[in-house]
């Protein structure tokens, strides 16, 4: 079961997981004792490689010595275990926040696996910490180029030059970005014209009831609410990353609704239900001041999650709903992985929505597989402080109309147990 509010608070920093591994008692204070601790931990690692406790003990002691170079070298030494090597760099970054070389090593680590989105996020964070370091700006811009976000890279160059001037390395990168931007412009596909819908509100409500939001966030669920569609959905108002979703789908939602498989965390005075194995989280709409006992919330919400899970699996097995997943930088491989995981239940149509590009301008729809619809939107529904969401309604409604027609052409199921 879960502890009380103070111990249940969820962390906001994506790298705070490293703090859990870096916790415990502080290393001995003297350099000699720290070097002895390093030797002991390295020996444990050598005797049984892959032990995270040994890896992190070395990292904490090196950080206590202020040895950023040693931390980088240790991460390289254990790179055959990338999860632990990455955590070592994250521990070092937190304990030695002013070490530029260590921060850059942490930013570069995801690049080894080709994870340019993670690298780009890290370079973005480092750019805020070290705004006058050209290498940090170059790392961020290079990640944007790898993600084919060339216009953003051009803006990144301009921003860097305003802060640190026209350094030679920035000028060279600016020329590279300009060349790629010109090439993209020459091969750009005209954007479709998306006209506002003129369909009656009740038709739109009924259509949206036949869709099931799988993430990545609440955007599509809120669009449904805007039109009076309130289908029951396990993942409708939750944070569900691709990795999390694949764990849930491939395990057939194992443990979902079982109290021992969950915890509740108090986030901004609202209890959030969390599935331990996958990391999935959802809103409960139960505030801490209304119900201070997390165990009560856990029991109640797990019972509801178990019901929604049974309903969801039934709908997937009968191809009842059109499944929606949106993420601005969703790539083809991720969309196909989600699609293939869905097909293990039955022939389900996936509407995968991502930001448009010059190759696929906003409004473009492609079908890599008969039951996979990739749609490209003009913007994500960003949440503004006090101003709700800025949801691209016309594009979403356009995509939903296409998906509905396509599902009918495929002869798939008929809307689910809560369809109108």
User: Is 218's pLDDT higher than 50?
Assistant: yes
User: Is the CA virtual torsion 206, 211, 213, 219 positive or negative?
Assistant: negative
Q: Are strands 322-326 and 350-355 parallel, antiparallel or unpaired?
A: parallel
User: Is 121's pLDDT higher than 60?
Assistant: yes
> What is the pTM assigned to this prediction?
0.63
Structure tokens at 232: 């029951």
User: Is 290's pLDDT higher than 80?
Assistant: yes
pLDDT at 17: 36
CA angle 416, 418, 420 (to 5 degrees): 95
Decide if 84 contacts 59 (C-beta within 8 A): no
User: Is 296's pLDDT higher than 90?
Assistant: yes
User: Is 108's pLDDT higher than 70?
Assistant: yes
pLDDT at 381: 84
Q: What is the mean pLDDT of residues 243-263?
A: 94
Split at pLDDT 50, 70, 90, the class of 383 is low
Mean confidence (pLDDT) of the chain:
87
pLDDT at 253: 95
User: Is 143's pLDDT higher than 50?
Assistant: yes
Structure tokens at 334: 């991720």
User: Is 384's pLDDT higher than 70?
Assistant: no
Residues 56-86 as b or e (16 or more Cβ within 10 Å = b): bbbbbbbbbbebbebbbebbeebeebeebbb
Location of each CATH 1.25.40.10 domain in the chain: 5-186
Q: What is the mean pLDDT of residues 31-45?
A: 94
pLDDT at 172: 87
pLDDT at 22: 42
Split at pLDDT 50, 70, 90, the class of 179 is confident
pLDDT winner (highest mean) among 4-18, 121-135, 379-393 = 121-135
User: Residue 241 CB: number of other CB atoms within 10 A?
Assistant: 16
| CA–CA separation, 390 and 2 (whole Å) | 35
Per DSSP, the three-state class of 271 is strand
User: Is 286's pLDDT higher than 90?
Assistant: yes
| CA–CA separation, 52 and 88 (whole Å) | 9
- The dotted CATH code for 5-186 is 1.25.40.10
CA angle 71, 77, 80 (to 5 degrees): 125
pLDDT at 418: 64
Which strands sit side by side in the sheet containing 372-377, from one edge to the other?
Answer: 211-213, 322-326, 350-355, 372-377, 365-369
Condensed to tens digits (0 to 9), the pLDDT of residues 62-73 reads 999 999 999 999
Condensed to tens digits (0 to 9), the pLDDT of residues 311-358 reads 999 999 999 999 999 998 888 889 999 999 999 999 999 999 999 887
User: What DSSP character marks residue 50?
Assistant: T
Percent of the chain with pLDDT over 70: 89
User: Is the CA virtual torsion 173, 175, 180, 181 positive or negative?
Assistant: positive
pLDDT at 177: 85
Split at pLDDT 50, 70, 90, the class of 23 is very low
């Amino acid at each position: 079961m879960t502890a009380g509010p103070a111990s249940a608070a969820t962390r906001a920093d994506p790298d705070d997981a490293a703090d859990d591994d870096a916790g415990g008692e502080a290393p001995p204070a003297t350099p000699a004792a720290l070097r002895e601790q390093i030797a002991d931990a390295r020996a444990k690692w050598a005797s049984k490689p892959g032990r995270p406790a040994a890896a992190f003990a070395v990292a904490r002691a090196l950080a206590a010595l202020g040895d950023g170079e040693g931390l980088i070298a240790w991460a390289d030494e254990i790179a055959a275990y990338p999860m632990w090597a990455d955590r070592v760099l994250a521990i070092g970054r937190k304990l030695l926040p002013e070490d530029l070389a260590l921060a850059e090593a942490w930013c570069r680590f995801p690049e080894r696996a080709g994870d340019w989105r993670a690298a780009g996020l890290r370079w973005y964070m480092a750019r805020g910490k070290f705004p006058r370091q050209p290498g940090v700006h170059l790392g961020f811009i290079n990640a944007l180029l790898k993600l084919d976000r060339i216009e953003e890279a051009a803006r990144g160059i301009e921003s860097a030059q305003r802060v640190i001037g026209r350094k030679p390395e920035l000028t060279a990168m600016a020329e590279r970005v300009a060349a790629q931007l010109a090439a993209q412009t020459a091969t750009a596909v005209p954007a479709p014209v998306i006209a506002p819908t003129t369909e009656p509100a009740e038709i739109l409500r009924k259509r949206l009831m036949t869709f099931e939001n799988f993430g990545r966030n609440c955007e599509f669920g809120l669009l449904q609410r805007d039109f009076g569609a309130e289908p029951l959905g396990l993942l409708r108002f939750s944070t569900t990353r691709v990795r999390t979703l694949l764990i849930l789908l491939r395990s057939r939602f194992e443990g979902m609704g079982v109290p021992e498989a969950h915890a509740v965390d108090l986030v901004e005075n609202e209890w959030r239900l969390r599935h331990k194995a996958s990391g999935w989280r959802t809103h409960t709409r139960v505030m801490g001041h209304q119900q201070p006992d997390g165990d009560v919330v856990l029991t109640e919400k797990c019972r509801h999650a178990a019901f929604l899970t049974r309903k969801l699996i039934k709908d997937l097995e009968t191809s009842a709903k059109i499944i929606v997943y949106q993420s601005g930088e969703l790539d083809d491989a991720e969309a196909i992985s989600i699609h293939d995981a869905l097909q293990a239940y039955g022939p389900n149509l996936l509407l995968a929505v991502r930001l448009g590009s010059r190759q696929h301008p906003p409004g473009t729809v492609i079908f890599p597989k008969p039951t996979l619809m990739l749609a490209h939107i003009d913007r994500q529904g960003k949440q503004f402080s006090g101003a709700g969401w800025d949801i691209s309604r016309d594009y979403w409604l356009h995509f939903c109309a296409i998906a509905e027609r396509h599902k009918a052409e495929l002869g798939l199921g008929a809307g689910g147990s809560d369809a109108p």
